[in-house]
Structure 1
């Protein structure tokens, strides 16, 4: 008997429960980020906003999966969106750690404004959610020796690995049919 029933994992995308867990966990993480910003007074930097945007995207794609997991198109959009958002979030968190630890602070700076597309200036539409003002090189919070982007890099990696595992298991299972 295996630790994880691969047949069950292959069917996760067709069930609401796994999508609900994904959507809820990402939504909770966004709410925690907003609590850090608006209650604890930690001002997010541009990289923080990019990571927040990726987490919001994971939540949104999770909620899309919750809506209609029995439709192939919905599953594909939700699955690929989850995978891409987790990858983008991991990249941003990794780059943020580089800025905090390896880059020369005299020659490293980040823009005070996120680089959203002109057709969707989220930082202007929703400044309390997407507005930046902090410095990317500052470490204002840490837990167990990791800064916030350090924890987010782990979280995004877990989301990405789970997405790949579910997708690979599903593809292998479908090929056996």
Structure 2
């Protein structure tokens, strides 16, 4: 059995990220689940991971470029997974220790300085501590962490695997 090419794997990573975003938008617009600041931050890193994979797919670079794109895919997935873990930590806190709920993201960006709004997005607030949906006992950031772990592993595999140049006939 032949392994998928580096290019094919990048396409799979990109399509996986598109699928994750589709699920996120479905949950937001069809199920009415409003994303919290940490959810939005995780979305940014899903998109970033997908963009790196799409660029690698379209560019189809040689060895150094392949390794650079793979590193960027793995790094963005790793950072996104860190934000998922932060949200899981907030969800595990007792109610009296959870941070207070903040205003909506739209309100923050309209009212606060950009740096303050960005700080709240990255740290999370009480809205992020609320578990609004679970599947098999795992909340949304838990499933997002699983997805980031898979994306990280694919990026790492791309980084460490052997390189075969693409031949065009």
- TM (norm. structure 1) is 0.72
| C-alpha spacing 1:86/1:154, structure 2 compared with 1 (3 Å) | same
Q: How far does the alpha carbon of each residue in 1:47-104 deviate from its partner, in whole angstroms, 9 at most, with x for none? A: 1111111101111111101111134564344212211111011111111111101x23
Structure 2: which 5+ runs fail to align?
A: 119-123, 165-169
Q: Using the alignment, how far apart are the partners of 2:39 and 2:10 within structure 1?
A: 25
The aligned runs of 1:128-167 (5 Å cut-off) are 135-167=127-159
Are residues 159 and 48 of structure 1, via their aligned partners in 2, closer, same or farther at CA, if it must alter by over 3 Å?
A: same
Is 1:106 aligned to 2:96, yes or no? yes
The alignment's TM-score, normalised by the length of structure 2, stands at 0.75
What do residues 1-25 of structure 1 show as CA deviations (whole Å, max 9, x unaligned)? xxx76xx57xx33xx3221111011
Per the alignment, do residues 59 and 134 of structure 1 end up closer, same or farther by CA in structure 2, a change over 3 Å counting? farther
Change (3 A) 1:65 1:143: same
Give the CA deviation at 1:118. Answer: 4.7
Write the deviation string for residues 36-55 of structure 1: whole angstroms up to 9, x where unpaired.
11121101111111111110
- Picking from 40, 43, 55, the partner of 2:34 is 43
| Corresponding pairs, count | 151
Measured against aligned partners, the alpha-carbon deviations of 1:111-162 in whole angstroms (never above 9, x if no partner) come to 54489x959x89xxxxxxxxx9981111111111101111111111111122
Please give the root-mean-square deviation of Cα atoms over the aligned residues, in Å.
3.1
- Higher mean alpha-carbon deviation, 104-113 vs 150-159, is at 104-113
| Contact 2:33–2:132, Cα closer than 8 Å, also in 1 | yes
Distance 1:134-1:57 versus aligned 2 partners, 3 A rule = farther
Per the alignment, in what secondary structure is the counterpart of residue 161 of structure 2? helix
1:31 aligns with 2:25: no
8 Å contact 1:46–1:111 — kept in the other structure? no
Offset of residue 165 of structure 1: 2.4
Instruction: Show structure 1 runs of 5+ residues with no match.
Output: 123-131
